[in-house]
Amino acid sequence: MFTSKLPEVGTTIFTRMSQLAAQTGALNLSQGFPDFDGPQALRDAVGRHIAAGHNQYAAMTGLPALREQIAAKIARSYGRQVNVDSEITVTPGATQAIFCAIQTLIHAGDEVVVFDPSYDSYDPAVQLAGGRCVHVPLALPDFAIDWQRLSDALSPRTRLIIINSPHNPSGALISAADLDRLAALIRDRNIYLLSDEVYEHLVFDGVRHASVLAHDELYQRAFVVSSFGKTYHVTGWKTGYVVAPPALTAELRKVHQFVSFCGVTPLQWALADFMGEQPQHVDELPAFYQAKRDLFCDLLADSRFTFTRTAGTYFQLADYSAIRPDLDDVAMAEWLTREHGVATIPVSVFYQQAPKDLRLVRLCFAKREETLRQAAEKLSAV
Ligand code: PMP
Ligand code: GLN
């Protein structure tokens, strides 16, 4: 008999809620993905490149043309010139990038600080590396970093801190001042940073994303991860990338080459073409998703859910205390799906230990107007 390396891990909440939505015919606002397609020109480009014979292994580090486009975008968005060859690695999805960064840094017995609620792949990846996560809760109601708790959580064994801004599930943002404070806190310690910025272009109300790529000091010890899935409405393409200084990148590639070797070739060609042809796509995303957020929130204004408009991501949290305070959020998500035809994600699953009175569900608004209208109608009747 073997011993499980991940005894506490089951099927993820995203799979479970999407399955329940499919079984019950509910509108699926649970797992984060658009119910509309990515740009036609981008999709056409994949077919073109497959027909043109771009079907064998890509470079292990990523297609050069795509790495060039990524570097150009980073220069435009964050003012950093990264080296195309030694600082950018294309991966089959951000999840793989995160996994590889963690395997690169974490030795048995090392500690990794994660902020709860946190994305579900971090902790298992740390466990598989033989490390241990120290879960530091974000301060409610704004999901802000509690600096005292962070400072208390650091130990001589702390090797890595994982941050995620814009934050899944809350949409909260880390500010440039927060990054300065973080830099000061780890300046004299041997601690690295993994910055999960997959929602980097989904920031609303005119706010600018504070990227670690724009922070000279933190970048020197950081892996910065992004995902084309979010930016180009193609989550199923599972294509992302990681940017890090040359020494860290070299070490990361040792892992990446044995986890997957490379990303999918025709997808990388298509993304490179599209980024070159339509660099403005990323600048148009905030308005595109903000309109969806505002439509959805306006439609929910008279419902019994309470919420503050999300600052980033394509997720909106909603408090249901006024509706079914008797139900915990997992039960509430199931009840909403079965009885009211809308699938959501309970927020407690993003915690090691959720606050007992947490009454929040997460709604994905990366949906067509028609879907948002139907969902809001059902939710307003609850
Ligand atoms: N990090 C966060 C915070 C996410 O929400 C997601 C999307 N599921 C990922 C990483 C993974 O992105 P990808 O689908 O490119 O692996
Ligand atoms: N990132 C997506 C979410 O938060 C889910 C991705 C997945 O299913 N693993 O909903």
> Which tens digits make up the pLDDT trace of 287-307?
999 999 999 999 999 999 999
For a substitution probing ligand 2, which of 18, 31, 226 has the most ligand atoms within 8 Å of its CB? 31
Ligand found nearest the CA of 167? 1
3-state secondary structure of 173: coil
Q: Is this prediction's pTM over 0.95?
A: yes
Report pLDDT for 1: 79
Q: What is the full DSSP assignment across 7-42? A: TT--S-HHHHHHHHHHHHT-EE-SSS--SSPPPHHH
Distance 241 CA to ligand 2 centre (A): 17
The predicted structure's pLDDT at residue 184: 98
Buried b (16+ CB within 10 A) or exposed e, 85-103: eebbbbbbbbbbbbbbbbb
User: Is there an atom of ligand 1 within 6 Å of 235 CB?
Assistant: yes
Q: Tell whether ligand 1 has an atom less than 6 A from the beta carbon of residue 229.
A: yes
pLDDT of residue 291: 98
Cβ 95 under 6 angstroms from ligand 1: yes
Establish whether residue 315 lines the binding site of ligand 1, counting it when its CB lies within 6 angstroms of any ligand atom: no
Instruction: Report which bound ligand comes closest to the CA of 17.
Output: 2
Q: Return the axis-axis angle of helices 13-24 and 329-340, rounded to nearest 10°.
A: 20
Calpha distance 212→215 (Å, rounded): 5
Question: What mean pLDDT value characterizes the chain?
Answer: 97
Q: Which ligand is nearest to the CA of 229?
A: 1
State the Cα–Cα distance between residues 331 and 351, nearest whole angstrom.
16
Q: Which of 168, 202, 268 to mutate to test the pocket of ligand 1 (most atoms within 8 A of CB)?
A: 168
Mutate to test the pocket of ligand 1, among 15, 173, 198 (most ligand atoms within 8 A of CB): 198
Give the pLDDT confidence score for residue 294 in this predicted structure.
98
What percentage of the chain exceeds 70 in pLDDT? 100
Least confident residue range of 13-17, 122-126, 327-331: 13-17
Q: Is the Cα dihedral 224, 126, 107, 3 positive or negative?
A: negative
Average pLDDT over residues 6-24: 92
32: nearest Cα among 358, 310, 359, 266: 310
Say which DSSP state 5 is in.
S
Closest ligand to the CA of 92:
1
pLDDT digits over 237-292, tens only? 999 999 999 999 999 999 999 999 999 999 999 999 999 999 999 999 999 999 99
pLDDT per residue as tens digits for the range 59-72: 999 999 999 999 99
Helix (H) or strand (E) holding 123: helix 122-128
Task: For residue 325, report the distance from its CA to the centre of ligand 1, in Å.
Answer: 31
Nearest protein CA to atom 9 of ligand 2, as residue: 14
Alpha-carbon distance of 30 to 12, in angstroms, equals 12
| pLDDT tens-place string over residues 36-52 | 999 999 999 999 999 99
Q: Taking each helix axis as running N to C, give the angle between helix 369-380 and helix 281-299, from 0 to 180 degrees, rounded to the nearest 10.
A: 30
**168 within ligand 1 shell (Cβ under 6 A):** yes
Peptide bond into 245 cis (omega under 30): no
**Nearest atom (ligand 1) to Cα of 96:** 16
As a residue count, the chain comes to 382
Would you say 309 and 297 are in contact if contact means Cβ atoms under 8 Å apart?
Answer: yes
For the purposes of burial, counting CB atoms within 10 Å of the CB of 65, is it exposed (0-12), middle (13-18) or buried (19 or more)? middle
